[in-house]
């Protein structure tokens, strides 16, 4: 039997020898990674909702009266050339007047008292991110063709603050859950090492290298984490699909991620994270006992 085959055989023998402990480790990793994954899906949907709101944030740039067509086109070109600008739409004074009539509805008769159209030509601008709203406002107000810049400043400021809070909370929760998963694996593998201390001592006495002793434990820890990650991935995927179907059916106005690709991306990250936690957790757990320390007390 090859050395790699021996390592895998020992890992699975250990797994079944300590069935209860192994299943507890798998279940704990499953719960931890499921919580982490569900929070990741929550962040994904929250980020999607924020982007939907971002798409509704528009900046209206009003132009001074009396500008020539060439001057108006030049303003449009300059706006389009800015890297922070996603889309530019010209709104003529006549179009703005018709919009106002539609918004007033039955009250449109108020406009009949006007002898002329007082509304100016304008540009509606969508940005790559609402955080650039104040930057664009300050910049274009310096242009001689621009009379005023209007946007929902309060909404934009609150949206930027909300994005920052969500990102900070996400980092903290991911760190806490990751640390919890790491500690679980470390303590589980450590208990398994302690339960086989005599066998490890004999192997060290006959000249087995540290890595030869470590590998079965490392493979076992990775295997436990992988199984827990796969189970949590199945729960996340089918649970999310079921949840989305029920929410969309009852609350069609709630913006949710329906594309499976971002969901599978989150699941893949959770599985990779779980395997890495199992690997480093196993190495950390056995380093103290196999890296040279003897279980036998010296007299």
Check whether residue 41 and residue 85 sit in a common domain. Answer: no
What is the distance between the alpha carbons of residues 200 and 295, in angstroms, rounded to a whole number?
9
pLDDT > 90: what percent of the chain? 11
Check whether residue 172 and residue 43 sit in a common domain. Answer: yes
- Greatest CA span in the chain, whole angstroms? 108
The predicted structure's pLDDT at residue 299: 41
Check whether residue 67 and residue 46 sit in a common domain. Answer: no
The answer to whether residues 206 and 181 touch, using CB atoms and an 8 Å cutoff, is no
Check whether residue 182 and residue 273 sit in a common domain. Answer: yes
Check whether residue 108 and residue 142 sit in a common domain. Answer: yes
Check whether residue 134 and residue 163 sit in a common domain. Answer: no
Q: Is the pLDDT of residue 251 over 80?
A: no
Residue 229: closest CA among 1, 28, 80, 7? 28
**pTM score over 0.75:** no
DSSP track, 24-88: HHHHHHHHHHHHHHHHHHHHHHHHHHHHHHHHH--EEEEEPTT--HHHHHHHHHHHHH-TTEEEE
Per-residue model confidence as pLDDT tens digits over 157-194: 676 677 778 778 877 877 887 777 677 767 766 776 67
> What is the number of structural domains in the chain?
2
Q: Which of these three, 151, 179, 202, is where a domain ends? A: 151
Per-residue model confidence as pLDDT tens digits over 2-40: 665 655 565 566 656 666 667 777 887 888 888 888 888
Check whether residue 66 and residue 89 sit in a common domain. Answer: yes
Say if 298 falls within a structural domain.
Answer: no
Structure tokens at 168: 């900070």
DSSP track, 191-229: HHHHHTHHHHHHHHHTT--HHHHHHHHHHHHHHHHHHHH
Burial-class residue 257 by CB neighbours within 10 Å (0-12, 13-18, 19+). Answer: middle
Q: Which residues make Cβ contacts (< 8 Å) with residue 150, sequence separation at least 6?
A: 59, 60, 62
* CATH number of the CATH domain containing 129: 3.30.70.3040
What DSSP element (H or E) covers 147? Answer: strand 146-150
Q: Which of these three, 151, 185, 216, is where a domain ends? A: 151
Say if 32 falls within a structural domain.
Answer: yes
Say if 274 falls within a structural domain.
Answer: yes
Sign of CA dihedral 231, 237, 240, 241: negative
Sign of CA dihedral 104, 109, 112, 114: negative
Check whether residue 163 and residue 262 sit in a common domain. Answer: yes
Residue 45: closest CA among 244, 284, 290? 244
Check whether residue 215 and residue 142 sit in a common domain. Answer: no
* Phi/psi at 60 (5° precision): -105, 125
Q: Which of these three, 136, 151, 166, is where a domain ends? A: 151
Domain that holds residue 109: 58-151
Say if 257 falls within a structural domain.
Answer: yes
Check whether residue 199 and residue 118 sit in a common domain. Answer: no
């Amino acid at each position: 039997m090859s050395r790699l085959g021996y390592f895998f055989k020992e890992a699975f023998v250990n797994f079944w020898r300590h069935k209860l402990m192994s299943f507890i480790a798998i279940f704990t990793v499953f719960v931890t990674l499921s919580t982490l994954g569900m929070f990741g899906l929550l962040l994904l949907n929250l980020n999607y909702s924020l982007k939907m709101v971002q798409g509704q944030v528009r900046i209206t740039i009003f132009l001074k009266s009396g500008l020539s067509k060439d001057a108006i086109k030049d303003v449009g070109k300059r706006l389009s050339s800015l890297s922070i600008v996603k889309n530019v739409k010209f709104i003529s004074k006549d179009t703005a007047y018709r919009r106002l009539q539609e918004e007033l509805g039955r009250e449109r008769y108020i406009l009949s008292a006007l002898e002329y159209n007082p509304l100016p030509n304008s540009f509606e601008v969508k940005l790559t991110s609402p955080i650039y709203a104040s930057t664009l406002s300050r910049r274009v107000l310096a242009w001689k063709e621009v009379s005023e810049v209007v946007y929902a400043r309060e909404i934009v400021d609150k949206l930027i603050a909300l994005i920052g809070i969500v990102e900070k909370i996400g980092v903290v929760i991911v760190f806490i859950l990751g640390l919890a998963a790491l500690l679980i694996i470390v303590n589980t593998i450590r208990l398994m090492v302690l339960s086989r201390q005599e066998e490890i001592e004999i192997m060290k006495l006959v000249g087995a290298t540290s890595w030869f002793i470590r590998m079965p434990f490392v493979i076992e820890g990775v295997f436990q984490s992988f199984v827990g990650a796969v189970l949590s991935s199945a729960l996340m995927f089918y649970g999310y699909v079921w949840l989305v179907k029920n929410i969309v059916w009852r609350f069609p106005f709630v913006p949710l991620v329906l594309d499976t690709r971002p969901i599978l991306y989150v699941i893949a990250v959770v599985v990779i994270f779980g395997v890495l936690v199992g690997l480093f957790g196993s190495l950390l757990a056995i380093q103290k006992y196999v890296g040279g320390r003897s279980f036998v007390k010296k007299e």
